[in-house]
Amino acid sequence: NAGVTQTPKFQVLKTGQSMTLQCAQDMNHNSMYWYRQDPGMGLRLIYYSASEGTTDKGEVPNGYNVSRLNKREFSLRLESAAPSQTSVYFCASSSGATSTDTQYFGPGTRLTVL
């Protein structure tokens, strides 16, 4: 039982390049999330998927797109990377069954955009 896995762990991009961050969970969770973590700003929600087949914007969606490929997988795409997107990206999942369910986080992807 791996929980939430993310690939890659590290990535360096040049401005304007694109990439996709992959996330998968094996807990049969309905809800999945993408956050970015920046120093002094805590975690900010980029996009979330309350259930398979739905996605919605969070606080900071500009410059990102997401795909809920199936119940297990939720990917985050940067179409044209910018230095402001240098951050640590975390994927999380929760059962979605109640409003108090706990989120489980992946190990993160450290992205640097030059």
Residues that bind other proteins in the complex, under the rule CB under 8 A: 4, 31, 35, 40-45, 48, 50, 56, 58-59, 90, 92, 99-100, 102-108
Q: Closest distance between other proteins and the C-beta of residue 100, in Å? A: 5
User: Residue 41: left (phi > 0), alpha (psi -120 to 50), or beta?
Assistant: alpha
Q: Closest distance between other proteins and the C-beta of residue 114, in Å? A: 21
Q: Closest distance between other proteins and the C-beta of residue 15, in Å? A: 26
Nearer to other proteins, 17 or 104 (CB): 104
92: burial class by Cβ within 10 Å (0-12, 13-18, 19+)?
buried
Under 8 Å between Cβ of 93 and 27 = yes
Nearer to other proteins, 73 or 104 (CB): 104
Amino acid present at 24: A
Among positive and negative, which fits the CA dihedral 23, 25, 28, 30? negative
Q: Closest distance between other proteins and the C-beta of residue 39, in Å? A: 9
- How many CB atoms within 10 Å of residue 3? 13
Nearer to other proteins, 42 or 53 (CB): 42
Nearer to other proteins, 28 or 102 (CB): 102
Amino acid present at 51: S
